[in-house]
Amino acid sequence: MPLSMRLPVYVVVALVVTILWGNWAETERPPKPGLGPRHSIVGIANGTAESPFVQRRLLADSARVLAWLVPSRIWDGITSTIDRVPPISWRLRNSWHWNDTGNWPLLISAMFLIFAAVVGFAFAAERSIVYYLPAVRRPSLVVLLACAFTMGLLGGGDDPNHYYWYPYDLPNACLFAWLLIAMELKKWWQLPLFALAAYSKETSAFLILVQLAYAVGGRDRRWDLLNAAGAALIYAIVQAVILAHYPPMAVGERLFAVERNVRLLEWHLLFSFWKFAIVLSVLFRIAVLWRQLPAGLRNAMVLFPCFLFAAFFGAWIEEFRQYTELWLPTALLLAWVSTYDLTARSQTVSAGRG
């Protein structure tokens, strides 16, 4: 299927995802009493958001640059045009809480970048499907599955009055998706892209462990070790610069929910074990097919215990499902396990005909 046909499909899907995300996220909603802004684009950009959210800089700073590059007369025209369309103006001011029009250039720029990241994620999903799922051969099915994976970015937020939808989540999912592709295909642009991921969120450090997993079982150990060392150096420099401007939380504050997480796991084990049974069944299936699992997916599984550790010791354990960085490898693993029998049967038939 040519790009001229795929691109409009992904653009439409990305537009739907971006609008729904913006409507549910309400990033500029006033914070709860006693709390500073956490998921506010404006708060992260101007440095008033709480730590560690304020340290996740890529989206906010990129939006500031984009807003600065566009002439003010164009922003004035955009603002006045929106004000002349009451349904849109009302939605932005009352539902999205974009009350200060002076922040609209920053907010519109940020939403455009989120939209672009979702489009990028769709293409990363398509590339990964073609590479890892040989059972999905028809181009139309590849595009359909890529769209389904892209819509899946909206999952994990749960109750918007309880959990926050963070503005850097979708761009970070795009960066992780392309970095996993770069590591698998040994692309030269891996380290520049990793620098963006390190500036986006501290969880990019987990990708260094994925690179080391390639070095352990891969054929080009020198390449993998050099990229892991380069990524570690980039990460240290980027995080040092960020932390010099935005101090980190105290260690004790980061461990605020460990006891609560233990009790919550106990409760789920007692009353909702069927959820764990489903997960354990999938893990058992993966373990049985471990040797047949593509190396890229095996190495990506390093991310799961890393994020689980981060969720348990640095956040509420149920927010584990909000790590959008894990969505594409999760979707690919489930799709690969689901289609493995079809692939094996097709290979057997082909061998018999040969």
Domain assignment of residue 127, yes or no: yes
- The 10s digit of each residue's pLDDT in 208-233 is 999 999 999 778 899 999 999 999 99
Domain assignment of residue 325, yes or no: yes
This prediction's pTM: 0.91
The span from the CA of 187 to the CA of 301, in Å, is 20
Which H or E run contains 318?
Answer: none
Q: Which two tokens stand for residue 59?
A: 């989206």
Domain assignment of residue 203, yes or no: yes
Q: Is residue 233 exposed (0-12), middle (13-18) or buried (19+ Cβ within 10 Å)?
A: exposed
Torsional sign, CA 333, 338, 342, 345: positive
Domain assignment of residue 195, yes or no: yes
Classify residue 98 by its DSSP letter. Answer: -
Q: Point out the least confidently predicted range of 70-74, 171-175, 270-274, 287-291.
A: 270-274
The letter for the amino acid at 82 is I
Q: Is residue 189 exposed (0-12), middle (13-18) or buried (19+ Cβ within 10 Å)?
A: exposed
The pLDDT score that the predictor gives to residue 14 is: 98
The pLDDT score that the predictor gives to residue 351 is: 47
**CA 108 from centre of chain:** 20
- The 10s digit of each residue's pLDDT in 172-197 is 999 999 999 999 999 999 999 999 99
* Total domains, the chain: 1
Q: Do 203 and 307 form a contact (C-beta atoms < 8 A)?
A: yes
- Region of 250 please: left (phi>0), alpha (psi -120 to 50) or beta: beta
- The 10s digit of each residue's pLDDT in 280-333 is 888 888 888 888 999 999 999 999 999 888 877 777 666 666 789 999 999 999
Average pLDDT over residues 330-343: 85
Q: Do 123 and 10 form a contact (C-beta atoms < 8 A)?
A: yes
The span from the CA of 111 to the CA of 42, in Å, is 12
More confident residue, 251 or 319: 319
Return the SS3 of 250.
coil
Cis before 52? omega within 30: yes
Domain assignment of residue 294, yes or no: yes
- The 10s digit of each residue's pLDDT in 34-54 is 777 888 999 999 998 988 899
Domain assignment of residue 179, yes or no: yes
- Give the structural domain span for 67: 3-336
Domain assignment of residue 128, yes or no: yes
Return the SS3 of 71.
coil
Domain assignment of residue 349, yes or no: no
Instruction: Give residue 349's pLDDT band: very low, low, confident or very high (50, 70, 90).
Output: very low
